[in-house]
Structure 1
Amino acid sequence: MDMETQGKKAMLLKAMGHPIRVEIIELLGKKEMCACEIASLFDCDRTTVSKHLAILKDLGIIEQRREGLYIYYSLKLHCLVPMLQCIEHAIFSDPVEVQFDCECSCSVDNGEI
């Protein structure tokens, strides 16, 4: 067992261990969004949402691009969306099988993971 790899997996799962971050992942799984648009969807201040975005970005889960004064975020690890759907099915004891047939091309290439 490669403990370094297991540690990296644990770090990614830990980053997803907050309801706001899970919601951000699901939102960005649907479309790219401006930071201000993301912040407006939550009942907390923009600084808090910004910290959540930074955690996800630092681990390579999401990525950002700047356009003028605005920062847009998109999901980098698209494979997390079906994983979260599978978890949701398990929570509600839904017998529907979620297929993970995709050849995941996600990569975390920032040295943090």
Structure 2
Amino acid sequence: MSKPRYQLKAEFFKTLGHPARIRVLELLGEREHAVAEMLPEVGIEPAHLSQQLAVLRRANLVKTRKEGSNVHYSLTSPHVAELLRVARTTLSGVLAEQAELLADLQAAQGERHPRA
């Protein structure tokens, strides 16, 4: 018996639920990268980056290409980059609404407690 779609989606989003993996996917959304290129951009230890890349490989979100001693990573689908763009747009909207609410609350507080 196969897993329900909602459970598969939850597992997919769990895979995305790590800042280093998100950063890797953002970088790969721009272009293919060698591991050595990603290290300074992701800002984690090489062994930790290797672990995160393995998680993304197992989830079939990235693929590898070997060139000499270098391993290059790329996205398996442009939809991954599109998903991250949609997430960024959604997050920007949420943060803008929160900033507006905060400004309203601060204005209301200023009306109740005028400064001398």
Both structures adopt the same fold (TM-score exceeding 0.5): yes
Partner of 1:84: 84
For 1:50 and 1:39, the matched residues in 2 are separated by 10
SS of aligned partner of 1:73:
strand
TM-score, length basis structure 2: 0.72
Q: Which protein has the bigger helix share? A: 2
Partner of 1:97: none
CA RMSD of aligned residues (A): 1.7
Q: Which amino acid aligns with 1:12?
A: F
- The 5 Å alignment of 1:29-108 reads 29-93=29-93
CA contact (8 A) 2:24 2:42 kept: no
Which has the higher Rg, Structure 1 or Structure 2? 2
Count the aligned residue pairs: 93
Q: Which amino acid aligns with 1:39?
A: L
List gaps (5 residues or longer) in structure 2: 95-116
For 1:64 and 1:48, the matched residues in 2 are separated by 17
TM-score, length basis structure 1: 0.74
1:16-74 Cα offsets, whole Å, 9 max, x none, are: 11111111111101111101111122322100111110100111000001111110000
Partner of 2:23: 23
Residue 11 (1) aligns with residue 11 (2): yes
SS of aligned partner of 1:72:
strand
List gaps (5 residues or longer) in structure 1: 95-113
Deviation at residue 7 of structure 1 after TM alignment: 2.7
Percent identity of paired positions between Structure 1 and Structure 2: 26
